């Protein structure tokens, strides 16, 4: 078994991240950030060494699952993380390869590699589009987009800055930085300083106004279960309107619960923390309403 309590993988750099067009509209295109299986393999080599990690592919009820095994050294047993791949929709004879590669990347995410990408904002690129019939297409269908600048908070591993450019023209199509003093920043970043402040805060006399304000803040930070479920429902509607499906929501649910069958609207009070985490991840992805 691996004896290390916490394996810290290096944060992804701009060279590790790929950009793909997810959705095209009249006003631009929705872009998604992702890592490749090659990046995952390189990081596993760097962190554990080529001899101390392995992978396996299995078919379960028609779905491909990939497991990644890691160990501290050759005298230890492998510790495994598994996840299921999603069909790519390709029709070029590479469907199985694409699905197994997706399963590998998802298993790597379960280990913690590239998980910081889940803190990315929603990326609507300022990209020229043209309408053909009732659909919108990129004006330049061969354009490629790359991450030219990306930063993360070293402690929280939350994304704080992002820039994406058109490779051919060099034009910036998306530029963003996290305002940690704003509402989104407060939701996305949980700083160590907050915990330290709780420990060191001295007792003081509060006025009635201060007490009322603190209660309002506490209520806002920890809403009741019904409010959480209602908020998630509104965000899912917002997501579907923008992306055309609830796939991103299902992936977040799977990341938190380990499966996509969990339904927030049937959650019990014992599952409050998981529902809250799903809400927070939805907000971090930019689906807040």
Question: Does residue 65 lie in a domain region?
Answer: yes
Interval 194-251: pLDDT, tens: 434 444 444 444 444 444 444 443 434 467 888 888 888 888 888 887 787 888 888 8
The answer on 155 and 102 residing in a single domain is: yes
Tokens 């998630």 label which residue? Answer: 232
- For the sheet with 17-25, list strands across it: 17-25, 28-35, 123-125
CA distances from 286 to 220, 253, 254 (A): 19, 16, 18
Query: Which spans in 70-182 are helix H?
Result: 95-111
Confidence of residue 93 (pLDDT cuts 50, 70, 90): low
Question: Which of 12-16, 92-96, 108-112, 200-204 bottoms out in mean pLDDT, i.e. has the lowest?
Answer: 200-204
How far, in Å, CA of 91 to CA of 89, rounded?
7
Percent of the chain with pLDDT over 90: 52
With beta carbons less than 8 A apart as the criterion, state whether 184 and 288 touch. yes
Question: Does residue 198 lie in a domain region?
Answer: no
How far, in Å, CA of 23 to CA of 28, rounded?
9
Question: Does residue 196 lie in a domain region?
Answer: no
Q: What is the pLDDT of residue 263?
A: 85
Question: Does residue 7 lie in a domain region?
Answer: no
The answer on 153 and 32 residing in a single domain is: yes
Question: Does residue 191 lie in a domain region?
Answer: no
Average pLDDT, the chain: 82
Of residues 217 and 274, the one with the higher pLDDT is: 274
Beta strands in 1-47 (DSSP E): 17-25, 28-35
Range of the domain at 224: 218-289
Last residue of a domain, one of 124, 148, 177: 177
The answer on 143 and 48 residing in a single domain is: yes
With beta carbons less than 8 A apart as the criterion, state whether 29 and 127 touch. yes
Mean pLDDT of 16-40: 95
Helix (H, G, I), strand (E, B), or coil: what is residue 69?
strand
The answer on 282 and 141 residing in a single domain is: no
CA distances from 83 to 44, 180, 187, 232 (A): 17, 33, 28, 24
Q: What is the pLDDT of residue 271?
A: 84
Number of independent structural domains in the chain: 2
With beta carbons less than 8 A apart as the criterion, state whether 9 and 43 touch. yes
Helix (H, G, I), strand (E, B), or coil: what is residue 22?
strand
The answer on 147 and 24 residing in a single domain is: yes
∠ CA(30), CA(34), CA(37), 5° rounding?
Answer: 150
The answer on 115 and 63 residing in a single domain is: yes
Last residue of a domain, one of 160, 177, 194: 177
């Amino acid at each position: 078994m691996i004896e290390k309590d916490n394996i810290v993988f290096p944060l992804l750099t701009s060279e590790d991240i790929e950009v793909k067009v997810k959705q095209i509209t009249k006003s631009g295109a929705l872009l998604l950030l992702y890592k490749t299986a090659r990046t995952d393999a390189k990081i596993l080599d760097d962190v554990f060494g080529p001899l101390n990690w392995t992978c396996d592919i299995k078919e379960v009820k028609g779905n491909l699952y990939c497991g990644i095994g890691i160990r501290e050294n050759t005298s230890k047993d492998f510790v495994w993380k598994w996840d299921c791949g999603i069909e790519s929709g390709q029709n070029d004879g590479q469907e199985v390869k694409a699905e197994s590669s997706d399963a590998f990347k998802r298993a790597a995410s379960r280990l913690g590699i590239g998980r910081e990408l889940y803190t990315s904002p929603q990326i609507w690129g300022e990209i020229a589009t043209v309408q053909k019939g009732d659909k919108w297409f990129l004006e330049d269908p061969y354009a490629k987009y790359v991450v030219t600048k990306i930063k993360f908070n070293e402690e929280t591993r939350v994304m704080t800055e992002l820039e994406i450019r058109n490779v051919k023209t060099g034009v910036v199509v998306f530029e963003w930085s996290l305002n940690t003093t704003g509402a989104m920043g407060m939701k996305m970043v949980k700083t160590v300083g907050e915990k330290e402040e709780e420990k060191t805060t001295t007792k003081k006399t509060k006025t009635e106004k201060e007490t009322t304000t603190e209660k309002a803040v506490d209520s806002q930070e920890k809403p009741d279960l019904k409010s959480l479920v209602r908020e998630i429902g509104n965000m899912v509607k917002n997501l579907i309107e923008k992306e055309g499906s609830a796939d991103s929501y299902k992936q977040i649910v799977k990341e938190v619960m380990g499966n996509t069958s969990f339904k927030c609207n049937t959650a019990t009070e014992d599952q409050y923390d998981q529902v809250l985490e799903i809400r927070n991840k939805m907000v971090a992805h930019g689906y807040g309403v």
